[in-house]
Amino acid sequence: MPGIGEMRGIQPGQPIPAAWLNQIVRRVLRSISGGRGIRVDPMEGRLVITNTLMPAHRPISTGFVQVVSVSNDYLTCVWVDPPTSTTGDTVYVAKPFALMVSPFDGETVLYNNGQSVSYSYVTERQRGATSGAHEEIQSVTPDYFVGEELRVVSGETGALDFYGAWLVWQDLNTAGRHWAAEPT
């Protein structure tokens, strides 16, 4: 088996196929290990870093936030007190995994039914989906909107904010958002 940076059959100056680059990334992820009390696991092309010294069952917290802006993998929000609609400090909230852009952009997903779908993103709310000869544009529905109140939960989200900090709050998706084909 070739090493992490070695791919057989590639000559200097030749373009490298995306599948080979993805294979290199997977090998790099497998080669990374953590230190004392840190476990590093590759999962779907991402690294999940777990502090094994923390108790396995941490208390779960929930809260309400109000959307200020929408990004690829997270929402910028402010804490809100629902009865009074009073807003507080800024908090970054991870989108539900299926609505994130980073894990799927430029990737092909093989579903349990054998269907293979490739995704490419236009914006944080619109993507192209291709399966064989069929192509469609999909958008998040219902869309997030500024001022919307969301229920959020604390926990390991696997997402990073703009500054590279791990997000600890995630949208519970009580609105039932998902990707849907746009009418043609």
Domain ranges of the chain: 62-181
Would you state the pLDDT for residue 1?
43
pLDDT band, residue 43 (cuts 50/70/90): low
Burial of 78 (C-beta count, 10 Å sphere; 0-12/13-18/19+):
middle
Q: Hey, which of 36-40, 85-89, 179-183 has the most confident mean pLDDT?
A: 179-183
Measured in degrees and rounded to the nearest 5, phi and psi for residue 38 equal -120, 125
Asked whether residue 61 carries a pLDDT value surpassing 70, the answer given is yes
User: What are the pLDDT digits (tens) for 99-115?
Assistant: 999 889 999 999 999 99
